[in-house]
């Protein structure tokens, strides 16, 4: 960018120009993650206790986390459509956390919210969501989940995948837009 970008002249005016993918300042994000929890297992334990009512950590249970708005763009229905099947297939040894608000005035979001409440009531130790409230533990889930979920139908750039990556959490994503550019096949 310093040599060929149309912004090169502006960038050269700064003694040490820098950039972060999609605006994620890594050092600041690490501090936020560290404030939420010092490591993955401690974060996972806290998430299991707070949201799934466990007494202690059970690291044998894989945890899948989604953090974001409940909108058609984000493809939340893909998680909701398969969660019950996966929970039953793996004999209740899997957890899904969907953290994000749903706008009840939007038919898609309202439909997802009703499905979330159903799953949460049916599988309280395996599925958690509270679509009626703003989710405040994003950093904790970024570090505590075993896998981040980003089933976005379209995503021009995406930020949440970077937040999961800084938390050392692999991301399962739909191959679209900014996700296919930043989520590398494993």
For the entire predicted model, the pTM comes to: 0.87
How confident is residue 23, by pLDDT bands cut at 50, 70 and 90? Answer: low
Q: What are the CB-based long-range contacts (under 8 Å, 24+) for 175-180?
A: 176/152, 177/152, 178/22, 179/150, 179/152, 179/155
All domains in the chain, ordered by first residue: 23-49+59-182 (3.40.50.2000)
Q: Residues 6 or more apart from 119 whose CB is under 8 A from it?
A: 80, 83, 84, 96, 127, 129
Cβ neighbours, 10 Å, residue 96: 27
Per residue in 40-81, pLDDT (tens digit) is: 999 999 999 999 999 999 999 999 999 999 999 999 999 999
Query: Residue 117: which of 105, 103, 132 has the closest Cα?
Result: 132
Tokens 């679509």 sit on residue? 131
């Amino acid at each position: 960018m310093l040599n060929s970008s149309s912004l090169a002249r502006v960038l050269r005016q700064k003694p040490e120009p820098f950039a972060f993918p999609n605006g994620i300042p890594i050092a600041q994000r690490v501090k936020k993650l560290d404030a939420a929890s010092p490591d993955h297992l401690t974060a996972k334990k806290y998430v299991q206790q707070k949201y799934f009512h466990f007494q202690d950590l059970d690291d044998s249970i894989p945890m899948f986390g989604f953090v974001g708005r409940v909108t058609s763009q984000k493809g939340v229905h893909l998680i909701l459509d398969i969660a019950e099947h996966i929970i039953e297939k793996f004999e209740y040894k899997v957890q899904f956390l969907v953290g994000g608000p749903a706008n009840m005035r939007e038919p898609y979001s309202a439909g997802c919210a009703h499905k979330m409440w159903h799953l949460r009531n049916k599988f309280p130790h395996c599925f958690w969501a509270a679509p009626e409230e703003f989710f405040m533990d994003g950093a904790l889930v970024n570090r505590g989940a075993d896998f981040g979920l980003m089933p976005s139908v379209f995503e021009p750039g995406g930020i949440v995948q970077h937040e999961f990556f800084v938390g050392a959490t692999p991301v399962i994503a739909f191959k679209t837009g900014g996700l296919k550019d930043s989520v590398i096949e494993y």
